[in-house]
């Protein structure tokens, strides 16, 4: 859908409202805003904690974002009008996955920024779940720049408690990267490997309690290690 001037104005107003809500009724910390590419196709990948994730991203990322959402959310005319103006595109969950891929690739071909949650759904325990290979396929097919973002605390900001302040929400933006171009059609193992690499980039931006299946190995600081951490060197 073409982006008209009115759409951009409404999006900008929503962005300011989001900053007011999340910053005024909580503590909004954003790191790495300079990492957001100013132009060109971008796939923003993030962990998925709650329904607050999309509005938090809209409020903090300095580019107009596109989201893919189940078409059931568009049944109400009012919600349909609002979602459409905020760059949300419907898809039929009972249809073919290839239709979602085609839609996403079409948006990226127009130099848009598309938000993907590689886990496919919200995490039930707020830790990272296994990433699905679909996001890797889209990234490899489009060769778009990938922007990893780690979200923290959005699960603690339910709308019915907006009057209770001091909930910390962290948006940690990492360095952009891209996946290698592979000749031919990559098999499932290759795609899953690429998806895991993408998820690891997100995990590196999160506190350990959020990393889940992508938890990074603990590193012991030699200067702060106690006697129980000491090990005899291996000499052969």
Give the confidence band of 23 by pLDDT, cuts at 50, 70, 90: confident
Strand partners, 185: none
- Give the contacts of 133 (CB within 8 A, at least 6 positions apart): 188, 191, 192, 194, 195
Give the confidence band of 232 by pLDDT, cuts at 50, 70, 90: very low
Strand partners, 31: 172
Task: Quote the tokens at residue 54.
Answer: 């999309």
Give the confidence band of 221 by pLDDT, cuts at 50, 70, 90: very low
pLDDT tens by residue, 40-96 = 999 999 999 998 999 999 999 999 999 988 888 788 888 888 888 788 888 876 667
pLDDT tens by residue, 122-163 = 999 999 999 999 999 999 999 999 999 999 999 987 655 554
Q: Which region among 6-10, 32-36, 99-103, 183-187 has the lowest average model confidence (pLDDT)?
A: 6-10
pTM of the entire predicted model: 0.84
For residue 2, the model assigns a pLDDT of 42
Higher-scoring residue by pLDDT: 21, 175:
175
The domain ranges of the chain are 5-229
Distance of CA 157 to the CA centre of its chain: 17
What letters, b where the CB count within 10 A reaches 16 and e where it falls short, cover 47-79? Answer: bbbbebbbbbbbbbbebbbbbbeeeeebeeeee
Q: Provide the CATH topology of domain 5-229.
A: Glycerol-3-phosphate (1)-acyltransferase (3.40.1130)
For residue 31, the model assigns a pLDDT of 97
- Give the contacts of 165 (CB within 8 A, at least 6 positions apart): 24, 25, 26
User: In the predicted model, is pLDDT for residue 120 greater than 70?
Assistant: yes
Give the confidence band of 233 by pLDDT, cuts at 50, 70, 90: very low
């Amino acid at each position: 859908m073409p982006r008209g001037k009115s759409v951009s104005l409404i999006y900008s107003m929503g962005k300011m409202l989001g900053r007011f809500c999340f910053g005024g009724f909580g503590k909004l910390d954003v790191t790495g805003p300079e990492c957001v590419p100013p132009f060109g196709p971008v796939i923003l990948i993030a962990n998925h904690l709650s329904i607050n994730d999309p509005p938090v991203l809209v409020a903090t990322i300095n580019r107009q974002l596109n989201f893919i959402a189940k078409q059931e959310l568009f049944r109400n005319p009012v919600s349909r009008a609002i979602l459409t103006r905020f760059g949300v595109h419907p898809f039929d969950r009972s249809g073919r996955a290839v239709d979602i891929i085609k839609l996403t690739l079409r948006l990226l071909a127009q130099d848009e920024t598309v938000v993907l949650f590689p886990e496919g759904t919200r995490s039930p325990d707020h830790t990272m779940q296994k990433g699905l290979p679909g996001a890797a396929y889209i990234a490899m097919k489009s060769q778009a720049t990938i922007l990893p973002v780690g979200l923290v605390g959005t699960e603690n900001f339910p709308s019915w408690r907006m009057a209770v302040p001091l909930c910390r929400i962290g948006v940690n933006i990492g360095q952009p990267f891209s996946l290698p171009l592979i000749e031919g059609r990559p098999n499932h193992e290759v795609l899953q490997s690429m998806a895991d690499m993408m998820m690891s980039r997100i995990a590196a931006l999160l506190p350990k309690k959020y990393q889940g299946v992508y938890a990074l190995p603990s590193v012991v600081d030699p200067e702060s290690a106690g006697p129980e951490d000491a090990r005899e060197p291996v000499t052969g």
